[in-house]
A and B are shown apart, each in its own frame.
Chain A
């Protein structure tokens, strides 16, 4: 697999955007959730999902739409800190529920676009500004200045229950109202500090 950073386990975090958390808040005490999440809720994007920029990612028949999760990954260094940042396109099939781990929606081959790693030194994640385009049309702007857990707090709260080590990646979370795309579309995520990440969705077998 060329064009991918050397990585170990890639983790995503649910509901780390303050805007999405607030949108969910009225439902958080209802079944099946019954209470707001207390600790970071993580998920894993396994190695079969990894795809480099410009990859052609197959969309199976029966998946009419794919949700675009434009975010930033922290590449963890041996000290357990963010040693680098990279653009991430965390694709999934749209899910209404957050009750069960969405393995079948999240873990399709190629469903995690990964950009080039930029050294963390001199970077302030609160200033990252991502633009998401589908076939050239601007669909969403994503900022990281209003997170439930900003990067240092997120790393500390995760470290309370598991170790993140060299080569692991922890994403900063997804914004609400994620744009949709379908087979045949080209997705571009761009940020001044982080470069660009392009994903071509193609009909499986095409």
Chain B
């Protein structure tokens, strides 16, 4: 099943995809264009932990002139970084290089502490698509990538859907691609991750407890390009969805 969280007639609610339309919890059945999309995540009592991987595809690590990391390179984000499908992300004035990053997003379904990799999938609620924009002008070599690059308001679109884990036979064999104004610019496959999803859940849960609703953004393959105001960026993962964002 595909879940969304949308605003319809002024009210935020959960919805599911149904025959190309959207079935809302209040019983309305509406066209996908008639709602405002939020990140497809149920609200959590405590702030959700958002873990993001850097350099998790060997080709992207090469592209950015780094050798592949020996342990996961991870940074955290706040919830205000998230944004919905079909929304805008701001490019600050005077910036030279702002690029998208198409990433498989893993949503935790069950509290996870010291989970072994063979049990990892049982702790996943589902998958979504993230676009983890970076503004490289602001990179500094202190806690790199620093939050000024990676934690800007609304600069991490997520969605459109949260797809139940049971509906994805093998999350480690999904095609990813990004297009800018309809032109294909990035193409990869989740099988090329350096640290795969079961490894990441085992690794994170070896030192911290993951809670339901927490997010892991698993990194992006090579093929990132500069995006200018007005560009329509679609990040897409096979079987999960196509997430649209406009640079403003």
Contact = CB atoms under 8 A, between A and B. Distances in A.
Nearest to B75: A101
A47 B211 contact: yes
Contact of A9 (B79, B146, B207): B79
B34 to A, nearest CB: 29
B147 A42 contact: yes
B51 A8 contact: no
Given A43-B143, A99-B144, A162-B151, A48 B208 contact: yes
Interface in B90-117: 113
B208 A100 contact: no
B51 to A, nearest CB: 7
**Count class of interface residues, chain A:** 35 or more
Contacts of B87: none
Nearest to B78: A9
B209 A48 contact: yes
Given A33-B141, A46-B49, A161-B138, A100 B146 contact: no
A165 interface: yes
B67 interface: no
Given A48-B49, A98-B142, A161 B148 contact: yes
Contacts of B152: 161-162
A8 B148 contact: no
Interface string A41-58: 111101111100000000
Given A44-B76, A107-B207, A162-B78, A39 B140 contact: yes
Contact of A162 (B51, B80, B208): B80
B226 interface: no
Contact of A35 (B77, B81, B141, B211): B141
Contact of B143 (A14, A38, A109, A168): A14
B61 interface: no
B79 A103 contact: no
Contacts of A7: 47
A192 B75 CA distance: 35
Nearest to A104: B207
B174 interface: no
A176 interface: no
Nearest to A60: B207
A150 interface: no
Interface in A69-123: 98-104, 107-109
Contact of B47 (A9, A42, A43, A99): A9
A11 interface: yes
A46 B142 contact: no
B73 interface: yes
A103 B73 CA distance: 9
Contact of B142 (A14, A103, A109, A165): A14
Given A14-B142, A35-B141, A38-B140, A101 B74 contact: yes
Given A161-B152, A163-B153, A46 B140 contact: no
Nearest to B80: A163
Interface in B140-186: 140-148, 151-153
B11 interface: no
Contacts of A14: 142-143
Nearest to B69: A100
Interface string B204-224: 000111110000000000000
Nearest to B113: A109
A48 B80 contact: no
B74 A103 contact: yes
Interface of B: 46-49, 51, 71, 73-81, 113, 138, 140-148, 151-153, 207-211
Interface of A: 1, 7-9, 11, 14-15, 32-35, 37-44, 46-50, 60, 98-104, 107-109, 161-163, 165, 168
19 contacts: A33-B142, A34-B141, A35-B141, A39-B146, A46-B49, A46-B76, A48-B208, A48-B211, A60-B207, A100-B143, A101-B144, A103-B51, A103-B75, A104-B207, A161-B138, A162-B78, A162-B80, A162-B147, A163-B80
